[in-house]
Every structure is written in structure tokens, then in C-alpha cells.
Amino acid sequence: MALILHIDTSVEGASVCLARDSVVLRSALNNRQKDQPGWLHTSIRQLMADMNLGMNELEAVAVAIGPGSYTGLRVGLSAAKGLCFALNIPLIAINTLEMMAFGITEKEEDALLCPMIDARRMEVFTAVYNSELKEVMAPCAMILDGTNFAQLLAGSKMIFSGNGSTKLKQVLSHPNASFSEKTATAEDMVHLAGQYFLEKHFANLAYTEPLYVKEFYSPAH
């Protein structure tokens, strides 16, 4: 399998990860969002140097494309595209919410996974997946009021995660609801990126844009 560089700047801070055969070799994390542009390029070079690898040994770059921070998404995608153009290697685009769902460590076989990204006030970017990462509710922007997931919770356990889930925790109390403290990083996209690489599911370098989810709504219960 391939040597893949993974980049995530979609939520808080930034992280990079180098993996071969879907096994993490080395990673780095920076929690200061304002430092992203300079830190990102320096850390990628350091990551490769630490493993005694040349940039030309990379076979693909995977990047979290959102939803998330507008600035962060553009920083990460620009860096990934630049490397892919320069090295003539494919770009792998990973949905941030799917990456977060994969990273939930408290997975239960019959539980639904609901990652949430803080979008200020009582607003979040969210989606719902089953334990096999099949989409149950498509990525959307949502205003939380404590009743958004009443129908799903009536029939299934749900695990909420991400920095947006703390808002839901304030207004939701349900025996089928639990909350994960897991913070997603670039390491959580390694398995997904490996699958995409094998399937040759590559993004279009020229036209791939960040996944922005703008219109907020509260779904019918």
C-alpha cells in the first residue's frame, strides 16, 4: 500500500499524520489555530525528515475538507493541493464529520454516531452515521434546541462527539444519549484515506473546494 500524508485543519488547531499501509508512522499536533499556515508546512517537512523520507516518496495526500473553520479549511486544502501539484500525486478528500465519527472510541454495534462541530451560539455542523459509517443523516448546519434527535433517540442509542456536542449536552438528557470526549485528529482519517486510495477515489485537484455547510435549520422531529 501507499505512503500517505494526512492533513486536518478543519476544526481547532491543526494536525498532520504520516501513514503507510494504514498504519500511523508519526504525527504532530498544534492547538493554536492562528499558527496554522506556518506551522503546517514546517511540521510536514519535519515529519518527513524524522522518518528519513523524501517528499518525492509520498504517494498521496489526504485532507479534511470540512465542514469546519472557513480559514482552517482553506489553509489545509491549499497546502494539500500544492503538494499534490508539485509531486504529481493524487489528492484524497475526507469529510471532517465522517473522520470524526470514525474516531469515536466508544462505538457500540447498534449505536448511531453523531459528530458535531461548533459553529457559534447554539449552532453546529453535524451528521449521523451508523456503526459502519453509513450515512443516516447528511451533513448539515443545525440549531440545537434539545429536541433535534428525538426521533432517532427513541429507537436507538446515540454517541455524540466533537466540540459542538458540549452545547447539546446542556439541553439534552436522554437515556439513549452518551457523549464522547474524543478529539479528532489527522490520525482518524488514516483508515478512510487508505480505503479511498485502494479504490482510486481521488479528488479533482483543480476543482475540489472546502465543504461549506451554511444554512442552519432544525429538522422535523
The torsion angles phi and psi of 158, rounded to 5 degrees, stand at -135, 140
Tell me the one-letter amino acid at 58: L
- Name the more confident of 119 and 106: 119
Burial of 40 (0-12, 13-18, 19+ CB in 10 A): buried
**61-107 tens-digit pLDDT:** 999 999 998 888 999 999 999 999 999 999 999 999 999 999 997 77
Lowest pLDDT segment from 72-81, 109-118, 210-219? 210-219
The number of domains in the chain is 2
Quick one: 71 and 18 in the same domain?
A: yes
Quick one: 111 and 175 in the same domain?
A: yes
In a domain, 33, yes or no: yes
The confidence score (pLDDT) of residue 18 equals 98
Model pTM above 0.85: yes
In a domain, 30, yes or no: yes
Query: What is the Cβ-side half-sphere exposure of residue 72, based on CA atoms within 13 angstroms?
Result: 23
CB count in 10 Å sphere of residue 54: 9
pLDDT higher than 80, residue 216: no
For 111, the domain range is: 100-179
pLDDT higher than 60, residue 203: yes
Quick one: 71 and 141 in the same domain?
A: no
The confidence score (pLDDT) of residue 69 equals 87
Please list the residues that pair with 216 across neighbouring strands.
141
Quick one: 188 and 162 in the same domain?
A: no
In a domain, 218, yes or no: no
Quick one: 49 and 81 in the same domain?
A: yes
Is residue 93 within 8 Å of 107, Cβ to Cβ?
A: no
